[in-house]
């Protein structure tokens, strides 16, 4: 089933646990299948330059076996571009890995990095890969995404997740305004980072958002309830909030 607000399950931290022992258990590809079975609309995996969690072999297996869309998170580098063009995943989300690539708050500095990013956005787009930019919910970053011709932006919800009280409400309004601005300009808004059962509903209720990417909390919660139950519960909370 395809939902109006899609859930992308990020399986990076299944690989983190696997790599802690250097073997092949728990297998992130098995987690991807379990997440799909539990209602995930897509799978997200970040192939980091240092390969600290997801490996090249994981991406090979996900591309060969997964029958829901893969969103490949990647740095804007030649190495990652070559891998993305070889695999042609459904989507590629450009994320910062180095300090100079990010804004003070943590998203990609799409405004400051225009010339660098333009090449990657164009190459990925020409290969029919849906490009998204992981940015702060900030008008300057959305304007940069418009200039770059990115079809999707993913708003960084890390600040929202960590704040409390009125400060969180202010950040939520910033997310809602950013989603509205992106949608008005024909860019599909997504969101993610730090989302949990406790904080997802206010974000899921933002009407323009089309996808949430959630990983660390779901994998952590799976320790207590299993991945199936944690993904199903997240899906239920999103559906309730979205109406
Ligand atoms: N979206 C992006 C672009 C990410 O890099 C990550 C992982 O850091 C997430 C979403 C998921 O965040 P979390 O693991 O905190 O749910």
Which CATH code, of 3.30.365.10, 3.20.20.70, 3.40.50.720, 2.60.40.10, is assigned to 6-242?
A: 3.20.20.70
pLDDT given for residue 2 in this prediction: 56
Kindly list the averaged pLDDT for each block of 10 residues, start to end, along the chain of length 243: 85 98 97 98 97 97 97 98 98 94 91 96 98 98 98 98 97 98 98 98 98 98 98 98 82
Q: Does 161 contact ligand 1 (Cβ within 6 A)?
A: no
- Asked if 236 is an active-site residue, the reply is no
pLDDT given for residue 242 in this prediction: 80
Nearest CA owner, ligand 1 atom 12 = 193
Q: What residue spans of the chain are helical by DSSP H? A: 12-21, 28-37, 56-65, 78-87, 114-126, 139-148, 158-162, 165-184, 200-204, 216-225, 227-242
- Asked if 101 is an active-site residue, the reply is no
Q: Does 132 contact ligand 1 (Cβ within 6 A)?
A: no
pLDDT given for residue 104 in this prediction: 85
Taking Cα atoms as reference points, which of 110, 73, 68 lies closest to residue 91?
Answer: 73
What are the residue boundaries of the structural domains of the chain, listed by start? 6-242
pLDDT given for residue 18 in this prediction: 98
- Asked if 105 is an active-site residue, the reply is no
Cα of 156 vs centre of ligand 1, distance in Å, is 8
């Amino acid at each position: 089933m395809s939902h109006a607000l899609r859930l992308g399950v990020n399986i990076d931290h299944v690989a983190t646990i696997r790599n802690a022992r250097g073997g092949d258990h728990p297998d992130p590809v098995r987690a991807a299948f379990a997440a799909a079975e539990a209602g995930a609309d897509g799978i997200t995996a970040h192939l980091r330059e240092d390969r600290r969690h997801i490996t090249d072999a994981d991406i090979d297996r996900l591309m060969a076996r997964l029958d829901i869309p893969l969103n490949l998170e990647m740095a804007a580098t030649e190495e990652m571009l070559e891998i993305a063009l070889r695999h042609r995943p459904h989507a590629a989300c450009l994320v910062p890995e180095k300090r100079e690539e990010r804004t003070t708050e943590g998203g990609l500095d799409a405004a400051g990095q225009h010339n660098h990013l333009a090449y990657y956005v164009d190459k990925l787009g020409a290969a029919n890969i849906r490009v998204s930019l992981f940015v702060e919910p900030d008008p300057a970053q959305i304007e940069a995404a418009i200039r770059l011709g990115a079809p999707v932006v993913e708003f960084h919800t890390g600040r929202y997740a960590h704040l409390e009280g009125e400060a969180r409400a202010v950040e939520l309004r910033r997310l809602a305004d950013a989603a509205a601005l992106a949608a008005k300009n024909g860019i599909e808004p997504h969101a993610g980072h730090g989302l949990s059962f406790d904080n997802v509903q206010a974000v899921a209720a933002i009407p323009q958002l089309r996808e949430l990417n959630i990983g660390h909390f779901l994998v952590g919660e799976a320790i207590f309830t299993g991945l199936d139950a944690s993904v199903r519960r997240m899906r239920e909370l999103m559906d309730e909030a979205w109406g």
